[in-house]
Amino acid sequence: MTIAQQVKTTLASLKSAQANLETFALSTQNKQAKQMYTQAAQTTQSVVDQLQQRVGQMEQQEPTYKGF
């Protein structure tokens, strides 16, 4: 697996974790836990965004990575 592929895998698992956190935030009734999950989901989202940029850069530098 090339680095770009690996980064994309990480990106995918982060996205899944982010979705899970949002589900937890919606399903819990406890206010404190809700806030915690929402905050974590936001942090994860920002990391996902940054990683997405990095993947974009990689694809520009090495067009052969594109699409993996």
Assess contact for 44 and 18: CB atoms under 8 A: yes
The Cα 27–Cα 11 span in angstroms is 24
Assess contact for 29 and 38: CB atoms under 8 A: no
Regarding 20 and contact with other proteins (CB under 8 A), the answer is: yes
- Candidates 1, 2, 5, 23; binder of other proteins (CB under 8 A) is 23
Binding site for other proteins (CB under 8 A): 3, 6-7, 9-10, 13-14, 16-17, 20-21, 23-24, 27-30, 32-33, 36-37, 39-40, 43-44, 46-47, 50-51, 54, 57
